[in-house]
Structure 1
Amino acid sequence: MGATENTILIAYDGSDDAKAAIAFVGTLMPGARAVVLTVWERLAMASARASAGMMMTIGDSPAEDEAVGQAMRELAAQGAELAGQAGLDASPRCDLDAVAVWSSIVDVAEDIGATLIVTGTRGQGGVKSLLLGSTSDRVLHHARRPVLVVPAPE
């Protein structure tokens, strides 16, 4: 996408926390330009399958990759639509093969020249975030730009 002036990067995974973050930014900065980012972490998906006792395949099928890609694009579009309803000038973006969610967020923020990164406190990570540290915490500590972490809704 290249550098864009005064663009907010909003991490979006469909969770209530991510939706609350979008609503808050819309109230705080109405009319701001935003990129709503959805990230798919292939390794985490494989780990989740293994812990659920599902059979692992050596390589994911192209059909499965396309299905996951389509679902992630739809999720990003849903986030951008919510951001638009919240008063932001939003566009969706996906990272479909991330090494880690937090590093993708930081990398995309650098790529687009984001003036601010916005994330909720907790997402869909569940047990993974307890084991690996929360995404928002890692973004906060590794980003070289301002980060706004919006607490969970009451």
Structure 2
Amino acid sequence: MTILIAYDGSDDAKAAIAFAGELLKGESAVVLTVWERAAMASARASAGLMMAIDQLGTEDTAIEGAMRELAEHGADLAREAGLDATPRCDADSVAVWSTIVDVADEIDARLVVTGTRGFGGVRSLLLGSTSDRVLHNAGRPVLVVPAPATDDATDDATDDAVT
């Protein structure tokens, strides 16, 4: 069984890897980081950055390298969690969620694992969360791991217990 774990470096994605490792120790996993090429081009345009074509190619190569390193970091975390993990980095075709679904189809993943939130910010609030879209479009089991408890939530619970 191969599982696909979506990884963007966020605390939610790290929690998803840790939980998948506890639940599925020893299983084969592909840790996928999706490179948002369209988002990068949009960010450059909105910032008014005009670059020569060769500069864009160099910048894209650097960004792709950083995303590959991020995927490798996620695979390292998955190995530490007990999974037989392989990193993978893909550029988004249309949207991050659709790339996750496409890769799941390509590798015939038996399960897709994702955190509840990543680094989507305002864009995900406007367009819907990646995990929600994956859940409703994957056509296969999807495990959405909730956000890890924050120190604030732990402190509140401790305060309630004391009073």
CA displacement at 1:54 relative to structure 2: 4.2
For the structure 1 residues 132 and 84, does the alpha-carbon distance in structure 2 shift closer, same or farther, using more than 3 Å as the test? same
Q: Distance in 2 between matches of 1:117 and 1:88?
A: 14
Letter in structure 2 aligned against 1:9: L
Question: In 1, Cα distance between the equivalents of 2:103 and 2:128?
Answer: 20
Q: Residue 127 in 1 paired to residue 122 in 2?
A: yes
Opposite residue 55 of structure 1, the aligned amino acid is L
Q: How many residues align?
A: 148
| 2:153 aligned partner | none
Deviation at 1:96?
Answer: 2.3
Inter-partner Cα distance in structure 2 for 1:148 and 1:129: 19
In the alignment, which of 88, 91, 96 is matched to residue 91 of structure 2? 96
Q: Give the 3 Å change call, closer, same or farther, for CA 140–56 of structure 1 in structure 2.
A: farther
The alpha carbon displacement at 1:32 in A equals 0.8
Deviation at 1:97? Answer: 4.2
Provide the rounded CA distance (Å) in 1 between the counterparts of 2:120 and 2:146: 16
- Unaligned runs of 5+ residues in structure 1 are 1-5
RMSD across aligned C-alpha pairs, in angstroms? 1.5
The 1-side partners of 2:96 and 2:107 are apart by 17
Deviation at 1:44, TM superposition (A): 1.6
In the superposition, the TM-score normalised over structure 2's length comes to: 0.86
Find the structure with the greater CA-based Rg.
2
1:98 counterpart SS class = coil
Contact 1:41 1:99 in 2 (8 A): no
From 62, 65, 73, the equivalent of 1:67 is 62
1:99 Cα offset (Å): 1.9
Higher relative contact order structure (alpha carbons within 8 Å, sequence separation ≥ 6): 1
Q: Is the 8 A contact 2:92 2:99 kept in 1?
A: no
Give the 4+ runs in structure 1 shifted more than 4 A: 56-60
Matches within 5 A, 1:9-28: 9-28=4-23
Seq. identity, %: 72
